[in-house]
Amino acid sequence: MVESTGRFETEHGAKYLTQLCKHFAHKIEVAYADRHGECHFPFGNAVLDADDAVLTIHVVAPDAEQLTRTKAVIDDHLIRFAFREPGRAIAWSA
């Protein structure tokens, strides 16, 4: 298993967490509350936590290729949902 943690600096983390989880729930298994969510993709899992300053996303996948795919899906969707915050991106670390 490989993993990575991403940080998206925003005061709207809980809002984006909810949007992501509701959106993904149409196709995959998702569980979430106000500031915590879990998304179970076929190629990896993501745990999201939000506070007043940051949305943190911890991703785990079987291999590097699937980790990259999981991160890309989350990146793509978060950028669309956070369109009012241009220029921001998830800062991923190993």
pLDDT tens-digit map of 25-73: 999 999 999 899 999 999 999 999 999 999 999 999 999 999 999 999 9
The structure tokens listed for 45 are: 């899992």
Domain of residue 67 covers 2-88
Report the domain count for the chain.
Answer: 1
- DSSP character for 21? H
Does residue 93 lie within any of the structural domains? no
74: nearest Cα among 32, 17, 34, 13: 17
pTM of the model: 0.93
CATH number of the domain to which 17 belongs: 3.30.310.50
Q: For the segment 1-27, what is each residue's pLDDT rounded down to a tens digit? A: 999 999 999 999 999 999 999 999 999
Does residue 94 lie within any of the structural domains? no
